[in-house]
Amino acid sequence: MTAAESLLGVRIGVVTFPGTLDDVDAARAVRLAGAEAVSLWHADADLHDVDAVVLPGGFSYGDYLRCGAIARFAPVMAPLVKAAEGGFPVLGICNGFQVLCETHLLPGALTRNDSLHFVCRDQRLRVENPDTMWTSDFRAGDEIVIPLKNGEGNYVASEETLATLEAEGRVVFRYLGGNPNGSRHDIAGICNERGNVVGLMPHPEHAVESLTGPSTDGLALFTSVLRSLVQSA
């Protein structure tokens, strides 16, 4: 079986919570990468045999209490957390990153932007770690442009946690051209120890087609996980 034939069977789930905005965009990115996009509903505690999951951006449950704080208790999250702890690939984008931090699949938290304003712009990033399941199609040091849109994108963590992330190479993306939200160490995205769980604030699903995005740089996150899944099969 060729690699192209193997990709035909890859199914990537995209979770929809009440208040999710970018599930359709994420599903389109999955299809453009060559996989089947499978819609997963927040109230269904079943991953439906998908091979990976994307937690998309938006305002899950209206961001009440704290961004991602309610979504972490959604029925779909119980099997997702268990699977992720076993090596299952999960990508959290913006609000999805916040949810991953709330579930403690990733350390730290996302707080109000230091400017106290919502930020929406095309953002330059540097790829720091191309060795995760979601970044293998990049090279270390690659500079990419991906849209950013958030009001609570300020990544914070203890000094000990920040030191660990840096020492272990778990900072995946870093802001370039100015820090848009006050994130410590200019962190735009991180991963867990195994590299199967990645969270980032910018929106790669909005940078997959030249007609609608500032670049097609975001598509590499979705092709990367396909390559990782095929190679591990």
Q: Which residues carry out catalysis? A: 94, 203, 205
DSSP 198-231: EEESS-GGGSS-TTTSS-STTHHHHHHHHHHHHH
Cα separation, 195 vs 201, whole angstroms: 17
Asked if 140 contacts 129 with a C-beta cutoff of 8 angstroms, the reply is yes
223 token code pair: 């092709």
229 token code pair: 């899944």
70 token code pair: 């309610």
Cα separation, 100 vs 192, whole angstroms: 10
3-state DSSP assignment of residue 9 = coil
Phi, psi of 141 (to 5 degrees): 95, -10
